[in-house]
Amino acid sequence: MNLALQNVAVYAGGNLSRSSVAGLARLNGQLGPVKAASLRVASRISNTLRAGFPVAHVDSFADCPLIALSVPDRIILGCIEELERSTLNWQGRVLIIGDTPRDSSVCAGLAARGAQVATFNIVAGMAVMEGATTAIREFRRLLLPRSARVVRLASGGKPLLFAGLTLASFTAHLAAAASDCLRTAGIEPGQARGMVHNLMAEALRAYTKAGRKAVDSDYGEPAWNSIRQQHAALSRTQPDLANYFAAAAAASAQLAGVEPQSLSPVPFTAQASSLGVAVGSL
């Protein structure tokens, strides 16, 4: 099925300014019908995109070989059900779902009727996609610039993608914990942040160059003696950080393939955590 100009339909909702669909470089000029919760909202979205025209029903997508769905996750299942109830012929039609933690299996019913389904998320400037090869190819050909970097996930890889992103986000918590330790040692806040920044940047450079070899640290008895001494000092001064320190040391040892040694947990007090996170919420 060849895709022609103004034959891309968009079903959108939520905050459009945060939508990856709205940021597609080649959407303007390709867009036809726009569907939303109401005709008024669809009109506003069309005006914001400066392309397309509002429609009241998804049946108006009939002439569109590609449909882009970008709605909040709390309503996505209802939108998919609406597409399933439509009179659209799904044989060979491409459905792209943007900004979703779900994978293309959420549209198994449409796929069974011939739809080519894929999902995409923009991560660190790259389009991360999974789903049908045809859908990915057509989406890339029609709506992405030639210079776009596309990463394709393995089947079932979407939850692992978001687990990795969550782990990466812990970097800021680790930096805050390290900085708090240095400040407690008497180092000025600005100097502490600078030291942590340089240390973490050096570690990231080492990982980028050497991969997993960079995390193969020495976890022999001398190292654990030092870790126990550091943990004891934190237990006396910052109990919340002591437990974070113990958990981080154990997790790091396991990643390096070493059985971690036990560090005595410190009772958590009702005082605010230095990390700004309630332990019970993790």
pLDDT, position 216: 67
Is pLDDT above 50 for 32?
A: yes
Tell me the residue type at 195.
M
The beta strands (E) that lie in the chain are given as 8-12, 31-35, 53-54, 66-70, 94-98, 116-123, 126-131, 150-152
Q: How confident is the model at residue 217 (pLDDT cuts 50, 70, 90)?
A: low
Cα 53 to Cα 5, 35, 183: the distances in Å are 14, 9, 57
**What average pLDDT does the chain have?**
86
Fold (CATH) for 8-154:
Rossmann fold (3.40.50)
pLDDT, position 146: 84
Global pTM reads: 0.78
Is pLDDT above 60 for 77?
A: yes
190 and 212 Cβ atoms separated by less than 8 Å: no
Average pLDDT over residues 101-111: 95
Average pLDDT over residues 74-91: 96
Query: In the chain, what are the domain boundaries?
Result: 8-154, 157-208, 216-282
